[in-house]
Structure 1
Amino acid sequence: MSHDHTSERTDASPADRTDVATDERSTDDPSGDSSNGYADGIARRVDAVSRRTFLRTAAGAGAATALGLGITGNAAADGIPTPWLHRDGNLIRDPSDNKVILRGVNVPDAKRMNAKEFRPDADETIARATNAEEGWYSRIVRLPIQPTDVGGHDTGGIPPVPGFSQSQLESYVQNHLRPAVDTCAEHNVYCIVDYHRHRGQDEAHAYDSEGIDEELQMFWETVAPEFAEDSNVLFEVYNEPIHPYQGHYEPNVDVAPTDDEAIETWNTWKAAAQPWVDTIREHAPRNLVLIGSPRWSQWTYQAPKNEFDGDNLAYTGHVYGHQNLRPLSEHFGEPAEEVPVFMTEFGWGEHGANYITGTADDEGQEFREFFADYDVHWQVWCFDSKWRPAMLDHDWSVKPYGEFWREELAAHRDEDVPAGEVDTGTDDDTSTDTATPTATPTPTPTPTDTPTATPTPSGPTSTPTPTDTPNTPTDTPAGDALVVNDYDGDPAWSANRNDLGQWCGAGSFANGSGEVEGDALVLDYDNGGWYQEQINRDVSGYSTLVLSVAGANGGEESEVRFSMGGASGMLADVTDDSIGTSVSAVVVDMESAGVDRTSSSLSLRLNFWQGGSSRLRIGGVRLE
């Protein structure tokens, strides 16, 4: 769930989503009254899993938790042993041939966390996600490494190809990734080092392009040898390769991942990705390697039909509320009976497009039953307050969504873990020596970074027919203006190209990715939606951004969040103009707003997850 789960995904992208949680419970004082509901929930979940192997491993301890119910055993108090793991058919086993299933969470990019912009740093976050004193029993933590963050690009844009230099990558590994991996080891949990690219649908960003190949080779030639001797590290080759896949920008082609002809997409992917797997194996022969698939790692079904070459390989799947990826048993369960499957991203949110929304009663129970039926490893998205769907609130209290998965992790805390002794050579008293982050000061700042981890759609979204009468744009560009997009149909909005020849797109709106009516782009929003125009050039010769825009209600600038060239804030805070009900110019002084006009990856992004509901008509975007 770029997932920045922001994403420039053609059908939709749930960036900057605000999941409105209710009945949130603070975990700052696990001995206080706020823990009672949690303890009751754990007791219920422990009872629910008693039909499985839990009672065989925890019979002596009883169905209990650390929150006043008592617990014994190293696995609960100190993490788990983290020996080398190996593949055996569709299972993962430890050196004693015990079956191992790794359950845990995703966290944000380590560099993003270490910036400490309204969130704790990586050490604090990992410590919290593995803190048994607070009832968190993550046995594995997924660490997404974003080209956006490695290369220091605008978090609202799409990183170029390559997204970083060798020196930037080495600096990232030394200052952010190695410390995060070591923190996981100190807390006795496994971690997934995940190359987390997931944006860009032009040819330069295709997974079989020369530029992407060079970037991945650089990444794994650097990262794989660094962690080749770390038994707690698994490698995820490529988070979410997007295209080519059958049906990508082909309106008359509809190939599901479970169709027989879908093997063609898988074979194309294997031909592109096998060299990256080989590079990892050359430098790190023992670490498990996890392999994704096209269309945002939704093609898992095809993995057993033509496996990659190499030892100790497993395959990933990503799914949120996607109805076209149901039943889970078919799309992900059937392949899991033949090959190891790691669900390295999944979950649901309360708000947003259909492919992300869900509830604990429906999607939650569905995931729970699926994981009970299949030996699938799972890492839920996301242990954060900003990357959506988020398990935590801005003060780090636990949302109901996070509570659901905290209870699941606790209920399975001693199940399918490796045999052996927990390494106590490092400080294992996380509750004492690892500070729990305190509440964010009031007022809580609106986050400025964009989530990654977010899920992606795989099919078209429904588009209601607009009923109001379009306004005719009256704002006239200056003769020397740089027109980014005038929505005149050349190129067509559906082609995802603007007048600069750069990528553009939108998603998660009530009318899908928006519609062009006359010479204006119409966006219907109801607490959701993202819009992006890439510029990708130095525009230091221009001083202002001009939006020709109208709103159904007027005053929509207070409901729209603006991001451009490292600047981020409410649109109302970066312009002196108001959006009226007739098309007029809304002008942003880029220098005053803090926009880096020299950025080669410059883009304009608007998001609509601020609780408002209206219709926006954009007649054009230009620089003057």
Structure 2
Amino acid sequence: MKFMERNFFKKCSMIALALLCVLCGCQNTTKRSDSQTKQSAVEKKSDPVQKEKGISCLSTTNNRVVDESGNPYVIKGISTHGLAWFPEIVNEKSFSNFKNDFGLNTVRLAMYTAESGGYCTDGYPQKLESLIDRGIKLCQSLNLYCVVDWHILSDQNPLEHLDSAKGFFEKMARQYGKLPNVIFEICNEPNGSTTWQEVSEYANEIIPVIRKYSDTLILVGTPNWSQDIEQAAQSPLSFKNVAYTLHFYAATHKDDLRAKYEQVVNEIPIVVSEFGICDASGNGAIDEESGNTWIRLLNKYDTGRILWNASNKDESSSILKPGTNLDDWTTADLTPSGQWLLAQNKAATPVKKISPIQSTSTQGKATLSFQSSNTWTEKNKPVVQLEGTLDNASPDAITSWTFTVQFPEAVQVSDH
């Protein structure tokens, strides 16, 4: 196990480190301290195509989203609300909570195009792009998939801002298209009188722009707020690695939409890139029974799903209570929607208990200590997070160090 060398010049300087060891697994996951994260962000900006080990490039085969081994991969995620309205949610604590507490593997970054603060209206494109940049890098550091969502809504027809969309996705694909964890969603919810022919015309313009730089998975919305999935099945696009989106809100969309989904699920790849357990407005009563019925059906066909939304907005679909600090929250701050998401994913991915680990060594006036601070599972393999502190009480600089961690039980560390 190796750490990069760092210089420590000041007396009693405290440096927090973290080490994640996958026990008997195949995942490479490294969590960094704040100072290391900043340094890493600079390094990755100069080399954005650097591939993170342990996260697979997703694609489509036999009408399913699959990993690099060809096995069905189920996206389980959370979507932000509008980035312009709730930018604070894009932080390491929140994204770590999504992964470690909820057992999620994906975060969707919802960037509205036409509403107040929209990319194509009165928003600030550079600020929105900066939030996307931060979100992608957080997902990369945590081995999460990141969906970059061009959030069509009040503009209804994606052709309305075609030129802006082409410029945006050219920039995103050029910068991030080689990262295995990035997914592009090119139009959220075509609606109003928008037809599948118009969505196809738009997709035929946007997808080649992305494909100049990237073969990554692309999600395409369908008419009628991404509910008329059968129209895509009747005339699918000609591109590879494309999936079509279905959206539902469990208190509104029930047997009829479930039947429509089941009729075409073996004809085209489908991802539920947005759903809720309230009504279609994003508010109203919660219907857990219908939500659970949907999840059982999606599980039957290995279909990914992303819950709306990670914010503290005062509405039923938000997972956090109004007034919650988006920079620092826990499961105690969850709404009924958040509690439901936590419960249903925890039931699917139980965390194996690992005995506490603690190690301290002293040499001269320097003390290096490690202890386990968190455990979870990834791909059915237990992962343990170790946090370390180096205390240099001498006036001399420490430029390198070595350490040995002795586990209290027999394990095989396959990656770290």
Category of TM-score, reference length = shorter chain: 0.5 to 0.7
Alignment partner of 2:273: what SS?
strand
Task: Name the amino acid aligned to 2:171.
Answer: T
Q: Which residue of 2 aligns with 1:304?
A: 233
Q: Which residue of 2 aligns with 1:4?
A: none
Closer, same or farther: CA 281–109 of 1 in aligned 2, 3 Å: same
Q: Which residue of 2 aligns with 1:87?
A: 60
Task: Name the amino acid aligned to 2:268.
Answer: V
Task: Name the amino acid aligned to 1:186.
Answer: S
Task: Name the amino acid aligned to 1:392.
Answer: L
Q: Which residue of 2 aligns with 1:163?
A: 121
Closer, same or farther: CA 343–301 of 1 in aligned 2, 3 Å: same
Structure 1 outlier segments of 4+, above 6 Å: 352-355, 417-422, 430-433
Q: Which residue of 2 aligns with 1:409?
A: 345
Over the residues paired in the alignment, what is the CA RMSD in angstroms? Answer: 3.6
Instruction: Please say if residues 151 and 187 of structure 2, whose CA atoms lie closer than 8 Å, have aligned partners that are also in contact.
Output: yes
Equivalences for residues 340-359 of structure 1 within 5 A: 340-349=269-278, 357-359=284-286
Instruction: Please say if residues 321 and 356 of structure 1, whose CA atoms lie closer than 8 Å, have aligned partners that are also in contact.
Output: no
Cα separation, 1, equivalents of 2:139 and 2:299 = 26
Closer, same or farther: CA 74–176 of 1 in aligned 2, 3 Å: farther
Cα separation, 1, equivalents of 2:121 and 2:70 = 41
Instruction: Please say if residues 79 and 307 of structure 2, whose CA atoms lie closer than 8 Å, have aligned partners that are also in contact.
Output: yes
Task: Kindly indicate whether structure 1 or structure 2 has the higher relative contact order, using CA contacts under 8 Å at least 6 residues apart.
Answer: 2
Instruction: Please say if residues 272 and 304 of structure 2, whose CA atoms lie closer than 8 Å, have aligned partners that are also in contact.
Output: yes
Q: Pick from 74, 78, 81 the counterpart of residue 105 of structure 1.
A: 78
Offset at residue 358 of structure 1 (A): 4.2
**Residues 516-556 of structure 1: CA deviation (Å, up to 9, x unaligned):** xxxxxxxxxxxxxxxxxxxxxxxxxxxxxxxxxxxxxxxxx
Q: Which residue of 2 aligns with 1:128?
A: 97
Q: Which residue of 2 aligns with 1:485?
A: none
**Residues 336-366 of structure 1: CA deviation (Å, up to 9, x unaligned):** 22222111111133xx778854434432222
Equivalences for residues 82-481 of structure 1 within 5 A: 82-110=55-83, 112-114=85-87, 116=88, 120-130=89-99, 132=100, 135-147=101-113, 154-155=116-117, 159=118, 162-163=120-121, 168-170=124-126, 172-173=128-129, 175-200=130-155, 206-209=157-160, 212-245=161-194, 265-284=195-214, 286-321=215-250, 323=252, 326-349=255-278, 357-386=284-313, 388=315, 389-394=317-322, 395=324, 396=329, 397-413=333-349, 429=385
Instruction: Please say if residues 300 and 315 of structure 1, whose CA atoms lie closer than 8 Å, have aligned partners that are also in contact.
Output: yes
Task: Name the amino acid aligned to 1:104.
Answer: G
Cα separation, 2, equivalents of 1:378 and 1:177 = 20
Alignment partner of 1:283: what SS?
coil
Cα separation, 2, equivalents of 1:224 and 1:77 = 24
**Residues 126-180 of structure 1: CA deviation (Å, up to 9, x unaligned):** 12211x2xx32111111112236xxxx845xxx59x4379xx535532x221121
Cα separation, 2, equivalents of 1:291 and 1:91 = 15
Cα separation, 1, equivalents of 2:186 and 2:147 = 10
Alignment partner of 1:231: what SS?
coil
Instruction: Please say if residues 321 and 355 of structure 1, whose CA atoms lie closer than 8 Å, have aligned partners that are also in contact.
Output: no
Offset at residue 76 of structure 1 (A): 10
Offset at residue 282 of structure 1 (A): 2.1
Task: Name the amino acid aligned to 2:68.
Answer: P
Cα separation, 1, equivalents of 2:211 and 2:280 = 39
Offset at residue 192 of structure 1 (A): 0.6
Alignment partner of 2:318: what SS?
coil
**Residues 422-443 of structure 1: CA deviation (Å, up to 9, x unaligned):** 9x9xxx849999xxxxxxxxxx
User: Normalization by structure 2: what TM-score?
Assistant: 0.65
Task: Name the amino acid aligned to 2:159.
Answer: D
Cα separation, 2, equivalents of 1:172 and 1:354 = 25
Offset at residue 274 of structure 1 (A): 1.7
**Residues 573-618 of structure 1: CA deviation (Å, up to 9, x unaligned):** xxxxxxxxxxxxxxxxxxxxxxxxxxxxxxxxxxxxxxxxxxxxxx
Offset at residue 393 of structure 1 (A): 1.2
Alignment partner of 1:186: what SS?
helix
**Residues 236-269 of structure 1: CA deviation (Å, up to 9, x unaligned):** 0111122434xxxxxxxxxxxxxxxxxxx32232
Cα separation, 2, equivalents of 1:194 and 1:268 = 19
Alignment partner of 1:100: what SS?
coil
Alignment partner of 1:287: what SS?
coil
Task: Name the amino acid aligned to 2:198.
Answer: T
Identity among equivalent positions (%) equals: 21
Cα separation, 1, equivalents of 2:79 and 2:239 = 26
User: Normalization by structure 1: what TM-score?
Assistant: 0.45
Instruction: Please say if residues 196 and 231 of structure 2, whose CA atoms lie closer than 8 Å, have aligned partners that are also in contact.
Output: yes
Larger Rg: 1
> Which structure 1 residue ranges, 5 or more long, are not aligned?
1-70, 246-264, 434-624
> Which structure 2 residue ranges, 5 or more long, are not aligned?
1-21, 31-52, 352-376, 390-416
Task: Name the amino acid aligned to 1:92.
Answer: V
